[in-house]
Amino acid sequence: MPPARPDPEVSLARGIVFKCLSVILFIVMGALVKMTGNAEVPIPPGQQVFFRSVFALPLILGWLLWQGQLRAGLRTDRPMGHFYRGIIGTASMALSFWALALLPLAEVTAIFFAAPLLIVIFAGMFLGEDVRLFRLSMVGLGLVGVLIVMSPQLAGAGTVDPLRALGAVVALGSAALSALAHIFIRKLSRTERTTAIVFWFTITSSVLGLATLPLGWVMPDAATFGALV
């Protein structure tokens, strides 16, 4: 049985609040990731993904135990949906961490705001939602703004820094994958609990992050380890 659907107006208000909180937490996380990526011994993106994910697992499980919903909260009828969402979300996360090592946090954040704009387009393409011309025109203006932010890195006056140009492209790729991951989340949320969506993504990203161990992890110092946790 799918979980009962809450009141639409309450869900909308709650969704807006949670989205604002997620943006704030994303910026804080971005600052910490940038610190570890630019440390004296830089932490590679795959290792960052692993630490970011694996240390979230005890918090998720602890919350479910406290609520007495461990089994119900993790139950899923759509394991492959979680798997695909996990791959796309983990790829987006890794690219964003890589971009933060190449560009200032402000620029990565500005480029990443392409994600909600692309969600509007993807919602029309994959969810069949009605996206009217006015909304599409606003999305187009927003994407022009993102391109303006990217333009100094791709075609600025003088010599273009290849690493900064790469960082801009990587950040945009991360935003596109993040938007696609949100479409998967929207589909999953029709039948799956939020706790299951978060938990199985965390499991997938932990495993995929750990799979990068042969690519060369490094031993962090105490300060860097604290930022990773």
Report the pLDDT averaged over residues 99-113.
91
Q: Are 183 and 61 in contact (CB under 8 A)?
A: no
195-223 confidence digits (pLDDT tens): 999 999 999 999 999 999 999 899 988 88
Q: Which residues of 76-96 are buried (b: 16+ CB within 10 A; e: fewer)?
A: bebeebbebbbbbbbbbbbbb
Domain residue extents for the chain: 30-228
**pTM of the entire structure?**
0.86
Check if the beta carbon of residue 46 is closer than 8 Å to that of residue 212: yes
Q: How far is residue 101's CA from residue 32's CA, in Å, rounded to a whole number? A: 11
Q: Give the integer Cα–Cα distance in Å for 7 and 55.
A: 33
pLDDT at 1 over 80: no
Average pLDDT value for the chain: 89
Which pLDDT belongs to residue 221?
87
pLDDT at position 6, please?
58
Tell whether the model's pLDDT for residue 4 goes beyond 70. Answer: no
Residue 3 has pLDDT above 60, yes or no: no
CA atoms within 13 A on the CB side of 73: 15
Distance CA 188, CA 151 (A): 36
Encode pLDDT of 45-99 as tens digits: 999 999 999 999 999 999 889 988 888 888 999 999 999 999 999 999 999 999 9
More confident residue, 31 or 179: 179
Secondary structure of 205-228 as H, E, C letters: HHHHHHCCHHHCCCCCCHHHHHHH
For residues 204 and 90, is the Cβ–Cβ distance under 8 A? yes
Mean pLDDT of 148-172: 83
